[in-house]
Structure 1
Amino acid sequence: MTEPEPTPQWLTRAWVDAAVFALRPDYRVALIAAEGIEPGCGDAGSEALLRDAEAAAREALTESPVDQLPEIAAWRDAYRAFGAKPQRTRNSVEALLRRVESGLPRINRLTDVYNAVSVMHRIPIGGEDLTRYAGPPRLIRAVGDEPFDTFAGGVDVVEHPEPGEVVWCDDAGVTCRRWNWRQGRRTALRDDTTTALFILDALAPLTDADLQAAADDLCGHLTRLGADVRITRRLVPNDAAPHQGD
Structure 2
Amino acid sequence: MSAQVHRIDPTVFARWPGYCRGIVAVRGARNGPSSPALIETLRQTEAGLRSRTAGRAVTDVPEIAAWREAFRAFGAKPAEHRSAIEALSRRVLRPDTLPHINALVDIGNIVSLRHLLPAGVHPLPGTPTPLELRPARDGDRFEPADGGDTEAPPPDEIVFCQGSQVLTRRWTWRQGAGTQTLPSTSAVFFNIDGLPPVTADRVRLAMQDIVTLVEQETGGQIVCCAVLDAAHPTLTLSIES
Residue 18 (structure 1) aligned with residue 1 (structure 2): no
Cα shift readout 1:201-235 (whole Å, capped 9, x = no counterpart): 10111122211111111111011233452341111
Aligned equivalent of 2:119? 125
1:107 is aligned with what amino acid?
I
Residue 135 (structure 1) aligned with residue 129 (structure 2): yes
Distance in structure 2 (CA, Å) of the matches to 1:106 and 1:243 = 31
State the 1:239 CA deviation: 5.1
Residue 27 (structure 1) aligned with residue 16 (structure 2): no
Residue 222 (structure 1) aligned with residue 214 (structure 2): yes
State the 1:22 CA deviation: 1.4
* Aligned partner of residue 149 in structure 2, secondary structure: strand
The alignment's TM-score, normalised by the length of structure 1, stands at: 0.88
Distance in structure 2 (CA, Å) of the matches to 1:132 and 1:191 = 18
Query: CA contact under 8 A between 1:151 and 1:157: conserved in structure 2?
Result: no
Aligned equivalent of 2:199, options 184, 207, 214: 207
Aligned equivalent of 2:36? 44
1:175 is aligned with what amino acid?
L
Distance in structure 2 (CA, Å) of the matches to 1:165 and 1:66 = 24
CA 110–186 in structure 1, closer or farther in 2 if over 3 Å, else same: same
Distance in structure 1 (CA, Å) of the matches to 2:220 and 2:116 = 29
Aligned equivalent of 1:181? 173
Give the alignment of 1:28-107 within 5 angstroms.
28-100=20-92, 101-107=95-101
Residue 148 (structure 1) aligned with residue 142 (structure 2): yes
Query: CA contact under 8 A between 1:149 and 1:156: conserved in structure 2?
Result: yes
Aligned equivalent of 1:190, options 175, 182, 196: 182
State the 1:156 CA deviation: 4.4
Identity of aligned residues (%): 33
What are the ranges of 5 or more consecutive residues in structure 2 without an aligned counterpart?
A: none
State the 1:63 CA deviation: 3.1
Distance in structure 2 (CA, Å) of the matches to 1:243 and 1:129 = 17
2:121 is aligned with what amino acid?
G
CA 126–75 in structure 1, closer or farther in 2 if over 3 Å, else same: same
Distance in structure 2 (CA, Å) of the matches to 1:190 and 1:127 = 11
RMSD of aligned C-alpha atoms?
A: 2.0
State the 1:105 CA deviation: 2.4
What are the ranges of 5 or more consecutive residues in structure 1 without an aligned counterpart?
A: none
Aligned equivalent of 2:104, options 103, 107, 110: 110
Q: How many residues align?
A: 235
Query: CA contact under 8 A between 1:49 and 1:113: conserved in structure 2?
Result: no
